[in-house]
Amino acid sequence: MGYRNDAIDTEAKASATEVSSDGSYKGLRRVLTYGTFDLFHFGHIRLLRRAAQLGDYLVVALSTDEFNAGKGKKSFYDYATRKEMLEAIRYVDLVIPENCWEQKIDDVKRYGIDVVVMGGDWAGSDRFEHLKEYCDVVYLDRTPGISTSQVKQHLKTGKDAQ
Ligand code: C2G
């Protein structure tokens, strides 16, 4: 994983996933973010790049197709495809399934998360604010002018991207 810091070699990173005797993760600062990441675009990559820069190890909790169906959403690409694309991204170290809204505290504990990062559209949301009891919560500015629904709309109307 070359981008962040070659000095953190695979060995060091692997050791960061060991749980030390007191149950805490030793070593690296660990970041977690959530999303569907459908029709992957530059808004997503800029979010992941900035999230990765907040630590040394980035976990992405990816909405499953079933979880999205429960929200009345259907992604263009299924979970397996969206996971494959995320795992190919240099900023991403681990992809886990997001099956429900309620798993976040468990995720923070299980993966030894130091900071949860989301785009600004989630700022102040109860879905994330309660995590401040367990870790830092950071909201980053969304990238203007791009969203998955916008891409879908442009493709439907034949309009080019702005
Ligand atoms: N994002 C961004 N800029 C954009 C579009 C998206 O910064 N132009 C960010 C969103 O704020 C989010 C992440 O990219 O943090 C993923 O976006 P979506 O796939 O749309 O995620 P969302 O549907 O908000 O799902 O439990 C929370 C949900 O899983 C979040």
pLDDT in tens, 87-134: 999 999 999 999 999 999 999 999 999 999 999 999 999 999 999 999
Tell me the average pLDDT across 23-44: 88
**What pLDDT band is residue 19 in, cutting at 50, 70 and 90?**
low
Which fold does the domain 25-157 belong to in CATH?
Answer: Rossmann fold (3.40.50)
Mean pLDDT of 23-52: 91
- Gyration radius (Cα) of the chain, Å: 16
pLDDT at 22: 67
* pTM, entire model: 0.86
In this prediction, residue 6 carries a pLDDT of: 43
pLDDT-derived band at 7, boundaries 50, 70, 90: very low
Question: Residues lining ligand 1, judged by CB closer than 6 Å?
Answer: 34-37, 43-44, 47, 63, 98, 118-119, 121, 127, 142-143, 146-148
Ligand 1 centroid – CA 93 distance (Å): 18
Ranges of H-type helices in 39-94: 42-52, 65-70, 79-87
Q: Which amino acid is at 147?
A: S
Helix, strand, coil percentages for the chain (3-state, nearest 5): 40, 20, 40
Let me know if 73 is a catalytic residue: yes
Is pLDDT above 60 for 162? yes
- Domain boundaries, given as residue ranges, for the chain: 25-157
